[in-house]
Chain A
Amino acid sequence: MPSVSELQEMYEQAVTARRYEERLQEEYLEGKQPAFDISAGPIPGELHLAAGHEAAAVGVCQHLRDSDVVTAPHRPHHVAIAKGVDLRRMTAEIFGRRTGLSKGKGGHMHLYDPEVNFACSGIIAQGCPPAVGAALAAKKRNTDDVAVAYLGEGAISQGAFLESLNLAGLHDLPVVFVVEDNDWAISMPKGRVTDVDDGSRRADGFAVHGDRVDVDDAVAVYEAAGEAVGRARNGNGPTLLEVQVHRRMGHFMGDPESYRPEADAERAEALDSIPRLEERLRAHGVEDDEIEGIRERANDRVEDAIVWAKDQPQPDPEEAYEDAFTQQPEGWPERPEVAATDGGER
């Protein structure tokens, strides 16, 4: 069982993540009404918010330290927050600012914070192989660091994931695959894309430990993840851990969700993990005003990050040409040299 202070920490991360998504939603929709135009407003492009996924983030990351590696998918904010990614710079990145984590080049699906070993990929399941690679590096260097790859239940039919599972199992690598099962892959319900209800059973075929947490509950995730991370850290190999979460918003902002039965959205609401975690705190004797205090601190932190981010400078257009290489070749990339190409003498 997590200690009271651990519970408080998890709660704080969870409510920070929730508040963050709610505030980003507001910011994102600015300039996008009444017509939803994806390229308008202070945050353009796709935005995948993770409200309802918090338990998977805080329950696992509670066991991690900065040197452990996490790879996240297209829906990364909650995991980034729980992993300790710099919230101001992450927010600046989402607002496309020069002081963002990637100087405005990455955007919300491509967040990198090497300080806490966090990375993302917007291509489904493609964070899995790099997590295996990080685990391989830890093993070769004899550290006890672990790697965690997050993916959705829709991603478990992707080759990159299955190949990673095999490789990790074969070499007993210190990696944990965390499948966030929110029942949907955009509009496709789980039952339409796999015959296997319990995704953790995928592990059996690779002689890897598999486990599933059926309730959307940070403490249950904490328990299961404690075992999985411990197994990895102690050199006993990988785990595939599937966790039931819920999608409280559309797949991305602007998703009409016409495919989704109302009852399903209501279920997501009813089974929310945050009130559950709050109950746990109360059961451990944490007073209401303490809980309120945590919430306020979380809200302030989110607000601070957003205010800071929006105050940051836009990147200079010329910066588009920097960073494709670490050792950029001279004069690269070749730029259109308008006016230089008069054929002249042939």
Chain B
Amino acid sequence: MAAVDAADVWPEDAEDVEEGIVATWFVRDGATVEEGDTLCEVQIEKVSVDVVAPVGGVVERGVEENEPFDQGRTLVHIEPG
């Protein structure tokens, strides 16, 4: 199982920011994606970051749309299929 953690996408100059938020998901839970597909857009401070699938597989979202998350959260799990 692969995962993308919030810490993986946290901008360097935003270390002191406590929370980010998922602005939009581009895939639903259970969707099959390929490596490199954009999964969601997160907003940390004022910066938008795209979260990209590190491997192909089936998506399980770790955070819902408009839900705040901290650096310790896992944003998404991917079950390689």
Direct A–B touching, Cβ under 8 Å: yes
Binding site for B on A (CB under 8 A): 34-36, 250, 254-258
**Which residues of A have CB within 8 Å of B23?**
35
Size bracket, chain B contacts: 10 to 19
CB-based nearest B residue for A33: B19
With A and B bound together, what is the CA distance between A36 and B21 in angstroms?
10
**Are A35 and B47 in touch, CB under 8 angstroms?**
no
**14 interchain pairs, CB-CB under 8 A:** A34-B17, A34-B18, A34-B20, A34-B21, A35-B23, A35-B68, A36-B43, A250-B46, A254-B46, A255-B46, A256-B45, A256-B46, A256-B47, A257-B46
CB-defined contacts of A36 to chain B, threshold 8 Å = 43, 46
Residues of A within 8 A of B47 (CB): 256, 258
- Residue B19 contacts which of A34, A250, A254, A256 (CB distance < 8 angstroms)? A34
Within 8 A of A (CB), among B5-56: 17-21, 23, 43, 45-48
A34 to B67, CA, bound (A): 10
State the majority secondary structure of interface residues on A: loop
Can you name the residue of chain A whose Cβ is closest to the Cβ of B70? A34
B46 and A35 contact, CB distance less than 8 A: no
C-alpha gap A34/B48 in the complex (Å):
12
A258 to B47, CA, bound (A): 8
Query: Do B66 and A35 touch across chains, with their CB atoms under 8 A apart?
Result: yes
Q: Which residue of B lies closest to A257 (CB)?
A: B46
In the complex the two chains form, is B68's CB within 8 Å of A34's CB?
A: yes
User: Could you say which residues of chain A place their CB within 8 Å of the CB of B18?
Assistant: 34
CB-CB nearest in chain A for B18: A34
Other 5 A-B pairs with CB < 8 A, given A34-B21, A250-B46, A254-B46: A34-B19, A35-B21, A36-B46, A255-B46, A256-B46
Please name the residue on chain A nearest to B47 by beta carbon.
A256
Residue of B nearest to A253 (CB): B46
Contacts of B66 in A (CB 8 A): 35
Residue in B closest to A256 when the chains form the complex, CB atoms: B46
Closest Cβ–Cβ distance, residue B49 to chain A (whole Å): 10
**A34 CA / B21 CA spacing, docked (Å):** 7
**Which residues between 51 and 73 of chain B lie within 8 Å of chain A, taking CB atoms?**
66, 68
A257 and B45 alpha carbons, distance in the complex (Å)? 12
Assuming the A-B contacts A34-B68, A36-B43, are A256 and B48 also in contact, with contact meaning beta carbons closer than 8 angstroms in the complex?
A: yes
Nearest-Cβ distance from residue A48 to partner chain B, whole angstroms: 15
The residues of B that contact A35 with a CB separation of less than 8 Å are 21, 23, 43, 66, 68
**CA of A258 to CA of B11, assembled, Å:** 11
B45: chain A residues at CB < 8 Å are 256
* Distance (whole angstroms) from the CB of A260 to the closest CB of chain B: 12
Bound state CA distance, A35 and B45, in angstroms?
Answer: 8
Bound CA–CA A258/B48 (angstroms)? 10
Q: How far is the CB of B16 from chain A (nearest CB, A)?
A: 13
Top 8 nearest A-B pairs by Cβ distance?
A34-B19, A35-B21, A256-B46, A256-B47, A34-B68, A34-B21, A36-B46, A254-B46
Look across to chain B and name the residue whose beta carbon is closest to the beta carbon of A35: B21
Give, as a whole number of angstroms, the nearest-CB distance from B77 to chain A.
Answer: 23
Q: Which residues of A contact B19 (CB under 8 A)?
A: 34
Q: In the complex, A254 Cα to B48 Cα: how many Å?
A: 11
Question: Taking CB as reference atom, which chain B residue is nearest A34?
Answer: B19
Across-interface contacts of B17 in A (CB, < 8 A): 34
Query: Taking the nearest CB of chain A, how far is it from the CB of B18, in angstroms?
Result: 7
Return the chain A residue nearest B48 by Cβ: A256
Q: Kindly report which residue of chain A lies nearest to residue B19, judged by CB atoms.
A: A34
Contact residues in B for A254 (Cβ distance below 8 Å): 46
Q: Which of B21, B23, B46, B48 counts the most chain A CB atoms within 10 A?
A: B46
Chain A residues whose C-beta falls within 8 Å of the C-beta of B48 in the assembled complex: 256
